[in-house]
Amino acid sequence: MNRAGAAAITAGAVTGRRVVIVRVAIIAGILVGWEALSLSGLLFRDVVPSLTAIGRAAGRLLTDPDFYANLSVTVGEIGLGLLIGGVCGLATGILLGANRFLSRAYESLIYYLGPTPKIIFFPVMIMWFGVGSGSKIAMGVVSCFFPIAISAASGMRQIDRVLILVGRSFRATTWQMVSKIYLPAMRDPVVNGVRLGLGVAIIGTLLAETKLSNRGMGYLIIQAYSTFDMPKMYALLIVLFVLAIGANALIGRLSRTAARNRSA
């Protein structure tokens, strides 16, 4: 290895160490600041509980079977919402992306309805699907449908025309075209759409649970708020954030791994 290459590697290692030091310093600063704020009494009592109180609450939460029962309810609702909304979104996106006329006629409706706050549909969902899990699943469906449909339509338009012509020249059926040509070729935009869809499905489902429910993670959060159990609320929010960000990162990683395997 030449001298320049060795110097570059050394510089990279030094930068990496500095980054770790800065990260540790920022985390330590936040934790110390939090504890100081907790002890200062500047905010109402228990609004900022001590780190040990949050840690104890997190420990209790993670060893409580009731927590896992509620978590499984929420995961089930989000999963089903993502499945139904994802399949509908994907089918709609493929249709809109494949046909210019349909795209011109209907895509603007999806494009403009996409950024509306979906939680406002919750009263309607309650009337249609009841106060149980049905309305929460419906909220997940409504939330994730739009980003997945928009991403799939965009991905469909990016497919290399040659691939489509190859499929047609082999007289592939519609299902073969979808499974062998369209879906593999538009994998990246679809995965991005699913990532976005998962994020908004989590928000839609959990917000619906906080509004009207007797089980699920949203219900636990609003219960902690009602009983002013702040350490438990912080613990719940931390767990939820870790799970949501983790699920998002997992989909991204699976996508990258699949891409590497394909190119290898």
Partner 1 sequence: MSRAPLKPLLTSRIGARLIGAATVLALIGVVELAIRAGIVNRFIVPLPSEIMVAIPRIIVEENVLHRFWQTTQEVLWASLLLAAVGIPLGALLHRYRIVRLACETWVGALAAAPIVLMYPLFLVIFGRSATTIVMIGFAAGLAPVILKTLEGLAGTRQVLLDVGRSFKLTDSQQFWKILLPAALPSVFVGLKLGLIFAMINIVGVEFLINFGGLGQLINELAERYDLPGTYGAICFVILTSIVFFDTAERLERFLRPGE
Stretch touching partner 1 by CB under 8 A, among 82-90, 98-106, 150-158, 170-178: 98-106
To 5 degrees, how large is the angle CA 138–CA 143–CA 147?
A: 140
Q: Which residues touch 126 (CB under 8 Å, ≥6 apart)?
A: 135, 212
Give min distance, CB of 163 to partner 1, in A: 25
Burial string for 139-165 (b: 16+ CB within 10 Å, else e) reads bbbbbbbbbbbbbbbbbbeebeeeebe
Name which position in 29, 31, 165, 228 contacts partner 1 (CB under 8 A).
Answer: 228
Nearer to partner 1, 42 or 166 (CB): 42
**What do you get for the CA distance between the two ends of the chain, in Å?**
26
Check binding of 117 to partner 1 (CB under 8 A): yes
Give min distance, CB of 250 to partner 1, in A: 12
DSSP-derived secondary structure letter, 44: P
Contact of 51 with 196, CB cutoff 8 Å: no
* Binding track over 180-199 against partner 1, x by CB under 8 A: ---------------x---x
CA–CA separation, 247 vs 196, rounded Å?
Answer: 11
Name which position in 241, 250, 253, 258 contacts partner 1 (CB under 8 A).
Answer: 241
Q: Which of residues 6-35 bind partner 1 (CB under 8 A)?
A: 15, 18-19, 22-23, 26
CA–CA separation, 39 vs 128, rounded Å?
Answer: 49
List residues binding partner 1 (CB under 8 A): 15, 18-19, 22-23, 26, 43-44, 47, 101, 104-106, 108-109, 112-113, 115-124, 126-128, 195, 199, 202-203, 206-207, 210-211, 218, 221-222, 224-225, 228, 230, 233-234, 237, 240-241, 244-245, 248-249
